[in-house]
Structure 1
Amino acid sequence: MMNSDALNKFYKNSLTDKLDSLLSAEVISQADYHLLSEDKLGLTDEVANHMIENRITNYTLPFGLGLNFSINAKDYVVPMVTEEPSIIAAASYAAKIIGSAGGFQASVLKREMTGQVALKDVVNVEEKIAILTDHLPDILTRANASHPSIVKRGGGATSVTVRHLQEEIAGEKIEFLVVYVSVDTKEAMGANIINTMMEGIAPYLEELTGGTSLLRILSNYATDCLATASVTIPAHRLQTMTLSGEEIRNRIIEANRFAQIDPYRAVTHNKGIMNGIDAVVLATGNDTRAVEAGAHAYAARDGHYRSLTTWECNTRGDLVGTLTLPLAVGTVGGSISIHPTAQFSHRLLGDPSAEELGEIIASVGLGQNFSALRALVTEGIQKGHMGLHARSLAISAGATGEEIDQVAAKLKQAHYMNLDTAKSLLKAIQQ
């Protein structure tokens, strides 16, 4: 059981004190305490050289912790990797408010990925669709035979659908017969599993249709792998010194409605959601590009790019927020199996299942959105963001050691917070 009291004022502590408090709170083990204190969670040259081609060095990013998260009545300290100031602070702040109102509720109702084989040059399409339909069980059998290990783990191909796609673009008719296969990938994200299956069934599909397989690959549009997070916040918990909770509630709802109808706002609105989601996806060794692509496609699923979240008022006057998006993430395979920091992230979360990890990530995204909207409709986004950005400016100006905090403190009081001001302040401190 996590001892949350040990994490009070966590952000003010030195690195050593932070590690001590994590150990005291039973967030990390003694073994991980030593790995962190001795800086032994980074990539070795040997592992890094095998992860990518033409490697010459490692590019490091800060690894931080999102605090105060209560998801489905379970407490979490959430690993987040990001370079942008204010993201982790905003997520932790949101989680604290939401936690005081009962926390996040999250679910992943179904967890399957989709593979597709696109066939071209198919004649008598309707006849070939009928043939494919008659052979659906055989297609499933061949798909599973292509990757028997996932079947042994209780997963595998579960269903097949066939679609005839045709459209005229710039006067040219484009036509494909596409076979879609749904696959239960268990704890893996499943890209390699699905790609192997699609390549395995492609020759049989060519035989049945007389067509030629153009592409045999997974889709990152994981509409059968949707994660949902929701929160209910009493209006009085939103109030500030100058605004009532009801006024802030209404402004948040109005701001979300703006993001529903204006794609220019929706893109930035959803980028804020992805600030939190990407940070956890990256920390856990999952594929940020796949998650991003699927999320933005889902935001435009009705042909108009919209907000991924909804914020409404219930009959009691509470603010109710919901986020739903495709989240194809895994807990095994890929870089997770070889990256020591990714493995630590999973231990930090209590070695969650892939389903639980999706629930955590969706909750962080919703919390991030709440924090951003609340700031936007009250004091504005820049006050908190630029306050945290002051340290970065101080470092950019050349400050080191205690000078960083001194320059940052003075920057927060300055009329203009920019690099020139930081340099002037540093010069005055050094004289």
Structure 2
Amino acid sequence: MKINWSGFSKKTYPERLELLKDSIILSQELQEGLEKNENLSVQIADQLSENVLGTFSLPYSIVPEVLVNGQTYTVPYVTEEPSVVAAASFACKVISRAGGFTAQVHERQMIGQVALYQVPDREEARQVILSQKEELLKLANQAYPSIVKRGGGARDLRVEQFSGQTDFLVVYLHVDTQEAMGANMLNTMLEALKPRLENLSQGQSLMGILSNYATESLVTATCRIALRYLSPQNDQARELAEKIVLASHFAQADPYRAATHNKGIFNGIDALLIATGNDWRAIEAGAHAYASRDGLYRGLSLWTLDSEKEELIGEMTLPMPVATKGGSIGLNPRVVLSHELLGHPSAKELASIIVSMGLAQNFAALKALVGAGIQQGHMKLQAKSLALLAGAKEAEVPKLVEGLIAEKTFNLEKAKSILEILRS
């Protein structure tokens, strides 16, 4: 069923719920939970964490009509910054009209490591461990047989040496974790390997732990945007595309710019990671490490111009080891709703959507920065936040926003002053 999302952001909260109810098939339980604004209960929260006093809420939004690999998704976003949702919606509308995103999952394996020290002869130990690879992989799988039954399990093992203040011999285990992120799985396997590795190396094991630098879970998202979608005026469209390419080059050259460039990408990625119950801290850590893989911290996305086809091309590759099972995913009603809204994607499919959303967020930010400037887009949204902070009621907010924009002074004191005038 084709959904008419036109003017969705301008509808009232009840109208948005009604459109969703009429257009997207949700289970009755989830539909009722959405209407009641059902969130994580204190009882479940108390089991998930320590010293619990309550739960903490953030706005739950959607970005409609996101086209990835030929399929259209309604994407849930959890973020307190309204400009992020507005920017993503704008970018996805433009990119979907231009053909959408193409995403490729290169591999889907997690890596864990056992660090060995006080190894008498590291090269000899390395050769001995590699000669026992098949036995070690079998031992790892015996420690977690349920993943083997689901088609996953330990796939490879490699060994590297590191010299420094302490010399280490590090054993890396590669595991297909299927739909789970796999932290507990990897850690269980690594603990099982430690005694055998100590015996083979004649050394001591320092730790066995999953790595969040998931270089075997890379996902690439690309999009091609015909210049006519940037502006109806050919010269202006080309100039805008050329400036977006230059901004991309700037983020490759300067780590100060790269940090902000990548933060903008994660405005979108984190919003979807949180909505789907994934560990955004782990994903960010891995992505920032990946941004520094050649020794200089760089922007994660790259934009180029195909002058012959008159297309702006965006591309981004990221480690994206997300999960659709395990952890607290099935315990939080909002997370369950998110997976239902997305159509219950597999882990690979979800990773493709997430990286695509990061690229969309980046496109919107760069277009604003090199075009009218980022502040113009933020102005109305900032004014709305100030109006609410000043104590404006729902009916007073639009007029107060207009007053702040007309005054071009954005602070709480000015908002309170204008609100006083409006009320008098």
Q: TM-score range by the shorter chain?
A: over 0.9
One-letter amino acid of the counterpart of residue 135, structure 1: Q
The 1-side partners of 2:56 and 2:410 are apart by 28
AA aligned to 1:220 is: N
Match of 1:36 in 2: 34
TM-score (norm 2): 0.97
What is the aligned residue count?
423
2:401 matched to which residue of 1? Answer: 408
C-alpha contact 2:227 2:234 (8 A) present in aligned 1: no
**1:313 pairs with 2:305:** yes
Map of 1:242-391 to 2, 5 A cutoff? 244-314=236-306, 315-391=308-384
TM-score (norm 1): 0.96
Over 3 Å counting, the alpha-carbon distance change for 1:408 and 1:243 in structure 2 is: farther
Return the alpha-carbon distance in structure 1 between the equivalents of residues 218 and 205 of structure 2: 29
Cα distance in 2 for residues equivalent to 1:236 and 1:390: 32
Name the aligned partner's letter for residue 282 of structure 1.
Answer: I
Are the aligned partners of 1:115 and 1:182 in contact in 2 as well (CA < 8 Å)? yes
In structure 2, C-alpha distance between the alignment counterparts of 1:148 and 1:393, rounded to whole Å: 55
Partner deviation per Cα, 1:199-254 (whole Å, 9 max, x = no partner): 11111111111111111100000000011110000111111679611010000000
Distance 1:28 1:301 in 2: 42
Q: Tell me how large the CA RMSD over aligned residues is.
A: 1.3
Shift of 1:48: 0.5
Query: 1:363-382 CA distances to partner (integer Å, 9 max, x unpaired)?
Result: 10000000000000110001
Tell me, which stretches of 5 or more residues in structure 2 are unaligned?
Answer: none
Q: Which residue of 1 aligns with 2:190?
A: 198
Query: How far apart in 2 are the matches of 1:257 and 1:219?
Result: 30
Local SS of the residue matching 2:171: strand
Q: In structure 2, what is the Cα distance between the partners aligned to 1:39 and 1:430?
A: 32
1:164 aligned to 2:164?
no
Pairwise CA distance, 1:31: 3.9
SS of alignment partner, residue 173 of structure 2: strand
- Is 1:17 paired with 2:30? no
Equivalent residue runs for 1:127-146 within 5 Å: 127-146=124-143
Gaps of 5+ in 1: 168-172
Match of 1:210 among 194, 202, 223: 202
Partner residue, 2:227:
235
Letter in 2 for 1:65: I
C-alpha distance in 1 between matches for 2:175 and 2:60: 33
Which piece of structure 1 moves more, 177-186 or 315-324?
315-324
Deviates more, 1:335-344 or 1:303-312: 335-344
CA distance in 2, matches of 1:27, 1:406: 37
Q: What SS does structure 2 have at the residue aligned with 1:402?
A: coil
1:236 and 1:244 in contact (8 A); partners too: no
Rounded to whole Å, the distance in 2 between the matches of 1:276 and 1:429 is 36
Give, in angstroms, the shift of residue 33 of structure 1: 2.5
> Is this contact kept in 2: 1:158–1:183, CA < 8 A?
yes
What SS does the aligned partner of 1:20 have? helix
Per the TM alignment, residue 15 of structure 1 is displaced from its structure 2 partner at its CA by 1.2
Tell me which amino acid in the other structure corresponds to 1:4: I
Q: Deviations over 1:78-115 (max 9, x none)?
A: 00101112001100100000011001111212100001
Distance 2:216 2:43 in 1: 37
Q: Which amino acid aligns with 2:12?
A: S
Question: How far does residue 197 in structure 1 lie from its aligned partner after superposition?
Answer: 0.7
Between the aligned residues of both structures, percent identity stands at: 47
Q: In the alignment, residue 298 of structure 2 is paired with which amino acid? A: R
Is residue 16 of structure 2 the alignment partner of residue 8 of structure 1? no
